[in-house]
Structure 1
Amino acid sequence: MPVNTRTHRAENRSIRLLAAVNLVALGSLTAPVVAGMPLKIDLLLPADERAAALATVLAVGGVAALIANPLFGALSDRTRGRFGRRRPWMLGGAAAGLLGVVALTAADSLAEITAAWVVTQTAYNATLAATAALLADTVSENRRAAASGIFTAAAFVGTLPPLVLTAILPRHVDFIAFVMPLAALVVIGFALRVPDREHVAGLRVRKERRTARFSSAFAAVWLQRLAMQSAFSLATAFTIYLIIDRMTHDAVAATPVAMVATLAGGTGIVLGASLGGALASRLQRHLPFLLVGALGLAAAAFLRSIADAPALLWIATSVGGLAVGAYLAVNLALAMRVMPHGQSGAYLGVLNVAETIPQVLAPVAAAALLRVGPGDPISGAADNYLVLYMTAAAIALLSLSTLPALRRAPAARYRPHAKTGAASAGM
């Protein structure tokens, strides 16, 4: 078998294994949020206190994730040993995460729930940071967009098993909470076969100074993700209330409409990430996909702003999902390109902060935007959905202001690997 063919197959295997780790690690964080913590808090506190308590626990956990991802990413950059740089943090994070889930299941006070959730978030973010860094270490540059697409799609697929199991077995939430953490240990056991060394993808990883060209290009990528994630979080906020106020006028009837919208959006993200990433790798161009992603999300947010029937909402969620999926895959690949070699853990951890901040702050911002103006001009309800979703569309378009900086950055241009024989291409 030719050397290039063996290398290609080994790289494909590594991508699939690391995507699987991403899937199970994020899935491990889903079950506690979906049912575990809400039910525990419901048993501990009166009905009028549970929402605020749950919001507080989730916010504290979000802050832990903000700190843990870049911290453990940077630590993995500096780890040396026979076991590798990333493997100790991948496996150690999954083991500590399982212990966090055990503690969460046994918790019988709000303080214990909060502490256990902080441990769980911190542990799995160590796994996620090291896994993303190992992907950057392992995949050759001309295939990073395709690999990023698979990696991104796996993250969203990982949220489905806990949701499905919770719907099928609502009385066994504690059991369901352990399914993905145990699966994570098994999957990481297989993923330990992925090469974890300084000589990867045919290049000797070397330390580079954080020069202005790297800093400016990465800053543009970071700001772009912050804007797009903020727009997406606002565009998907309070969907169930939109359906009730504009379409069904009934909470029970709104549930299946919201479920279809969620499924359509999730499917769009998976397809957009996998297909968009693959096409970007084939064309060796990035900026057109960023442009289409931002325009697609803006269009989807606009459709939401005027949606008064389920069909239009489902179209909006599908378009938005496809746009965001393609965008996230290419944005991650571009981040890998513009960061210095040997510092992927720290840089990708910082990139993750741009995704986590909107998840923490968007619900508060969305609630404030709903109160702008006299009310919703379409439904007559007190909440102004037109202002909320048009703001999301404007922020998505604002993300395009970073494209000129990326076009000028030498580090953002495709640098072909010497052994691939690929020709240099534009962004």
Structure 2
Amino acid sequence: MRMLLAQTTARQSRRVVLLLAAVNLVTLGSLTAPVVAVMPLKFAALLPEDQRAGALATALALGSAAALLANPLFGALSDRTRGRLGRRRPWMLGGVLAGFAFLAALATGESVTAVTASWVGAQLAFNATMAASTALLADSVTEQQRGSASGLFTAAAFVGTLPPLALSALLPRHVDAVSFVMPALAVVVVGAAMMIPERMPLQATPAEPGPRRRELLRFAGSRAFVAVWLQRFAMQAAFSLAAAFTLYLVIDRMTADTVTATPVAMVATLCGGTGIVAGAIIGGTWASRRGSYLPFFAAAGVGLAAAAMLRAVAETPVALWLAAAAGGLAVGTSLAVNLALAMRVLPARREGAYLGLLNVAETIPQVVVPVAAAALLRVGGGDPVSGAADNYAVLYATAAVIALLSLLTLPAVRRASAPEAAARPAVSTSA
């Protein structure tokens, strides 16, 4: 009887993890088509050729800033929410409904201001869903499940970008319609996720209303969580640098023209994405079984550094593809184990706020790395491999150094990442 109950509980837990991974998949997927197709076409139709790039860059930057704000804000609000729907579920559902409405406004917008404002609103809304779903994952999984659950949750985010990319390529004349496929699925999936029972702290009490500056002090005082945050930031920055300007690298070193360079660069991107998914699932599952996270952090940092150095000297498509796949494996493993360890060291009843801050560590590099990468290309006297004006060797060597610097966080997380580290406090389920 006890064994049957344990098996039933395990099946229910797997369903919860799969459902939350699906929420992550459709939410990230909802933000893909507007970036790759809808907004570029909108600005091209609304503006002269010499103004469209600047307008698009401004809109994307404002959207990124909104995402930076939304993750910790809505995570903290979900920590404080009380009601019949629980803490996380109102923000998950409200986020996708508002996001759908903002994307509808974006598709019908007829001015630069309307399109930009709609994109900012969509970023705020869908990031509210992501912040709440990540916190609900932390609420729902046991210590033994954290690595595998984090791996699946992380992998789903990258898989979610593939359907809108494929549909946009197959239906280039219907990108507005394509942009509604994932948001519509998001409403359905989050509706199903509303059935997930929420777990509340045993002695949960209504949190004080209004912003609390002490939250940042708690964050700064949590040595293990700060180390986890810095490790995620360093690995994401290194990976973003290592993946920057791949198309230009292929043109300058391998093909000398854009037509034949494009498929080579696209295969490299696919190799990197496949590596991330594989690394997240395999690395997260393996870490769950071992119970120790430290070896995975170390292997990921060294692996990403090696992959970046291979890219720094790559002169053939095969070498580039190998470097992309190895880098993806490393960063996928790192992201999965990083999230699992973060859930282990989170303060009780502050999961949403802290996981929102953790997401910021992944978002900031996406904002600043393109500018930094462009500056690094101008360092030195040009590329030592191809002789081109852009110095790819310096760019990717810098990525390798940053990946190795992530290893400096290991002493601070050594105790927390050990198998004997205490599990989080007990929780009780409430409706």
TM-score by length of 1: 0.94
Contact 1:153–1:325, Cα closer than 8 Å, also in 2 = yes
Contact 1:90–1:126, Cα closer than 8 Å, also in 2 = yes
1:41 is aligned to 2:43: yes
Contact 1:214–1:338, Cα closer than 8 Å, also in 2 = no
Unpaired stretches in structure 1, ≥5 consecutive residues: 420-427
1:330 is aligned to 2:323: no
Match for residue 306 of structure 2?
299
**Structure 1 residues 166-223: Cα deviation after superposition (integer angstroms, max 9, x where no partner):** 0110000000010000000000111111111316xxx777899976997111000001
Alignment of 1:29-68 (within 5 A): 29-68=31-70
Match for residue 382 of structure 2?
375
Structure 1 residues 336 and 412: CA distance shift in structure 2, 3 A: farther
Structure 2 residue aligned with 1:188, among 183, 187, 190?
A: 190
**Residue 143 of structure 1: how far off its partner (Å):** 0.9
Q: 2:369 corresponds to which letter in structure 1?
A: A
1:91 is aligned to 2:93: yes
**Structure 1 residues 351-390: Cα deviation after superposition (integer angstroms, max 9, x where no partner):** 0010000000000000000000111111111110000000
**Structure 1 residues 278-331: Cα deviation after superposition (integer angstroms, max 9, x where no partner):** 000000010100001111110111011001110000000010011111110000
Match for residue 422 of structure 2?
415
**Residue 414 of structure 1: how far off its partner (Å):** 2.6
1:172 is aligned to 2:181: no
Greater alpha carbon shift after TM alignment, 406-415 vs 285-294? 406-415
Structure 1 residues 417 and 359: CA distance shift in structure 2, 3 A: closer
Contact 2:341–2:416, Cα closer than 8 Å, also in 1 = no
Q: 1:31 corresponds to which letter in structure 2?
A: A
Structure 1 residues 211 and 357: CA distance shift in structure 2, 3 A: closer
1:253 is aligned to 2:253: no
CA distance in 2, matches of 1:216, 1:273: 25
**Residue 48 of structure 1: how far off its partner (Å):** 2.1
Greater alpha carbon shift after TM alignment, 256-265 vs 154-163? 256-265
Contact 1:234–1:362, Cα closer than 8 Å, also in 2 = yes
Structure 1 residues 390 and 286: CA distance shift in structure 2, 3 A: same
Aligned to 2:355, the other structure's residue is in SS state helix
**Residue 45 of structure 1: how far off its partner (Å):** 1.6
Match for residue 425 of structure 1?
none
Aligned to 1:70, the other structure's residue is in SS state helix
CA distance in 1, matches of 2:369, 2:10: 41
CA distance in 1, matches of 2:249, 2:407: 28
**Residue 4 of structure 1: how far off its partner (Å):** 1.4
CA distance in 1, matches of 2:335, 2:415: 21
Match for residue 284 of structure 1?
291
Contact 2:219–2:226, Cα closer than 8 Å, also in 1 = no
Aligned to 2:414, the other structure's residue is in SS state helix
Greater alpha carbon shift after TM alignment, 2-11 vs 354-363? 2-11
Structure 1 residues 97 and 212: CA distance shift in structure 2, 3 A: closer
Q: 1:121 corresponds to which letter in structure 2?
A: Q
Structure 1 residues 333 and 102: CA distance shift in structure 2, 3 A: same
Structure 1 residues 367 and 26: CA distance shift in structure 2, 3 A: same
CA distance in 1, matches of 2:423, 2:405: 31
1:121 is aligned to 2:107: no
Aligned to 1:171, the other structure's residue is in SS state helix
Q: 1:403 corresponds to which letter in structure 2?
A: L
Structure 1 residues 101 and 403: CA distance shift in structure 2, 3 A: same
Match for residue 362 of structure 2?
355
Contact 2:220–2:226, Cα closer than 8 Å, also in 1 = no
Q: 2:7 corresponds to which letter in structure 1?
A: T
CA distance in 1, matches of 2:325, 2:203: 42
**Residue 408 of structure 1: how far off its partner (Å):** 4.5
% of aligned pairs identical? 65
Alignment of 1:259-274 (within 5 A): 259-274=266-281
Match for residue 25 of structure 2?
23
Structure 1 residues 418 and 159: CA distance shift in structure 2, 3 A: closer
CA distance in 2, matches of 1:304, 1:205: 51
Structure 1 residue aligned with 2:235, among 212, 228, 235?
A: 228
**Residue 53 of structure 1: how far off its partner (Å):** 1.5
Match for residue 319 of structure 1?
326
Structure 1 residues 253 and 205: CA distance shift in structure 2, 3 A: farther
1:342 is aligned to 2:344: no
Greater alpha carbon shift after TM alignment, 255-264 vs 57-66? 255-264
**Residue 409 of structure 1: how far off its partner (Å):** 5.2
CA distance in 1, matches of 2:6, 2:424: 13
Over the aligned positions, Cα root-mean-square deviation in angstroms equals 2.0
Q: 1:13 corresponds to which letter in structure 2?
A: R
CA distance in 2, matches of 1:137, 1:204: 15
CA distance in 1, matches of 2:134, 2:275: 22
Contact 2:292–2:418, Cα closer than 8 Å, also in 1 = no
CA distance in 2, matches of 1:36, 1:216: 43
Contact 1:217–1:411, Cα closer than 8 Å, also in 2 = no
Aligned pair count reads 416
Unpaired stretches in structure 2, ≥5 consecutive residues: 208-213, 427-431
**Residue 272 of structure 1: how far off its partner (Å):** 0.4
Q: 2:193 corresponds to which letter in structure 1?
A: A
CA distance in 2, matches of 1:204, 1:323: 39
Q: 2:197 corresponds to which letter in structure 1?
A: P
Match for residue 3 of structure 1?
5
CA distance in 2, matches of 1:247, 1:162: 29
CA distance in 2, matches of 1:131, 1:215: 23
Structure 1 residues 301 and 414: CA distance shift in structure 2, 3 A: same
1:13 is aligned to 2:15: yes
Contact 2:106–2:118, Cα closer than 8 Å, also in 1 = yes
Structure 1 residues 45 and 221: CA distance shift in structure 2, 3 A: same
Aligned to 1:198, the other structure's residue is in SS state strand
